């Protein structure tokens, strides 16, 4: 069985796209730049006439409804970063400079697929630096009523989510993914964000979802999906939750070696889990990848055999 990636990756070329912010509704252009080893993912934007850099790290997260937002000490912020970060994580990209002329990453079609396409168009460049990982050493969990999030030791990176909605269009759904380049692209990258028709007017009164539409979200009304094309996966809703978790957990700053399990969890709970993890220095350690020290996880079927 092949090892997990040993070397860091960046992009071969600069590439740009334009779109609208899901919540601001404002047009935004985003440009992805190759970056040196150990740079990580860094957002760059203008704020009050100055260039501000915000590393994609949990330490910069601020509470915000319905998306993940980073804030710089100057007051500058960048929102709705989770789908882009999921694409970087899923495609094994470690180092990128993300330049924006707005305050939100463009929502595109509401999934990570357009960002995967951008990455493929730019090309992936292997770098002469070992890939570093955060290895989970013991279970860490948090709970908020019926919501919970946990991470436990694993030889690879797996993500599972459970959701439960009253609408029969969603209901109870569970999905687990062993995160690799191929599995992410096939099983999760196309899953779109979703919302409920009855909540749209309330969100817009609060200054949210101004750029939302049937072109960039799955919209549910009662027990029906309003999008004419229907769903991309039969369980697209929970797959998107897995996608969100992959993006949020990348804010650890390095790829994780652990198993995440979220029950009705969202962006804020995912962030609080990272906060709890890094507060406990006995729960993790940083490791460099080598051919012998970091092994890929067993396939999903084999994992299930071990559990049964």
Q: Please, which residues have CB within 8 angstroms of residue 247's CB and are 6 or more apart in sequence?
A: 68, 81, 82, 83, 84, 85, 86, 87, 89, 112
Q: What is the mean pLDDT of the chain?
A: 92
Of 72, 43, 75, nearest to 59 by C-alpha is 72
CA gap 53, 15 in Å, rounded: 19
Of 50, 39, 51, 45, nearest to 11 by C-alpha is 39
pLDDT at 1 over 70: no
Residue 11 tokens, joined: 């992009």
Residue 297 confidence (pLDDT): 44
CA gap 214, 300 in Å, rounded: 33
Secondary structure class of 296 (helix, strand, coil): coil
Q: How many CB atoms are closer than 10 A to CB 184?
A: 24
Residue 207 confidence (pLDDT): 82
CA gap 133, 305 in Å, rounded: 27
- Region 167-177 average pLDDT: 97
Q: What is the reported pTM?
A: 0.92
Residue 61 tokens, joined: 């997260």
Residue 3 confidence (pLDDT): 62
Domains assigned to the chain: 7-307 (3.30.1700.10)
As annotated, the active-site residues are 267
- Alpha carbon of 294 to those of 20, 247, 255: distances in Å? 40, 22, 12
* 7-49 tens-digit pLDDT: 999 999 999 999 999 999 999 999 999 999 999 999 999 999 9
220 within 8 A of 167, measured Cβ to Cβ: yes
pLDDT at 230 over 90: yes
86 within 8 A of 192, measured Cβ to Cβ: no
* 237-292 tens-digit pLDDT: 999 999 999 999 999 999 999 999 999 999 999 999 999 999 999 999 999 986 44
* 135-166 tens-digit pLDDT: 999 999 999 999 999 999 999 999 999 999 99
């Amino acid at each position: 069985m092949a090892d997990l990636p040993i070397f860091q990756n960046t992009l071969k070329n600069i590439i740009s796209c334009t779109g609208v912010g899901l919540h601001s509704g404002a047009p935004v252009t985003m440009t992805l730049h190759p970056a040196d080893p150990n740079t990580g993912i860094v957002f760059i934007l203008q704020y009050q006439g100055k260039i501000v850099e915000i590393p994609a790290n949990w330490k910069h997260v601020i509470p915000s409804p319905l998306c993940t937002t980073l804030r710089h000490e100057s007051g500058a912020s960048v929102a709705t970063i989770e789908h882009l970060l999921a694409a970087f994580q899923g495609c094994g990209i470690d180092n990128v400079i993300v330049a924006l002329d707005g305050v939100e990453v463009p929502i595109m079609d509401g999934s990570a697929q357009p960002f995967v396409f951008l990455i493929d168009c730019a090309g992936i460049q292997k770098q002469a630096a070992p890939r570093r990982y955060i290895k989970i050493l013991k279970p860490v969990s948090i709970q908020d009523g019926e919501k919970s999030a946990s991470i436990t030791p694993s030889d690879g990176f797996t993500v599972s989510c459970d959701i439960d909605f009253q609408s029969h269009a969603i209901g109870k759904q569970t999905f687990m993914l062993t995160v690799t380049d191929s599995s992410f692209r096939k099983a999760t990258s196309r899953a779109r964000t979703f919302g409920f028709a009855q909540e749209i007017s309330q969100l817009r009164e609060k200054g949210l979802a101004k750029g939302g539409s049937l072109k960039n979200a799955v919209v549910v009304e009662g027990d029906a999906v309003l999008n004419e094309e229907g769903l991309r996966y039969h369980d697209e809703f929970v797959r998107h939750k897995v996608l969100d978790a992959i993006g949020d957990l990348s804010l650890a700053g390095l790829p994780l070696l652990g198993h995440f399990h979220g029950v009705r969890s969202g962006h804020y709970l995912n962030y609080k889990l990272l906060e709890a993890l890094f507060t406990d220095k006995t729960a993790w350690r940083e490791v460099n990848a080598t051919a012998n020290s970091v092994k890929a996880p067993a396939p999903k079927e084999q994992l299930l055999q071990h559990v049964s």
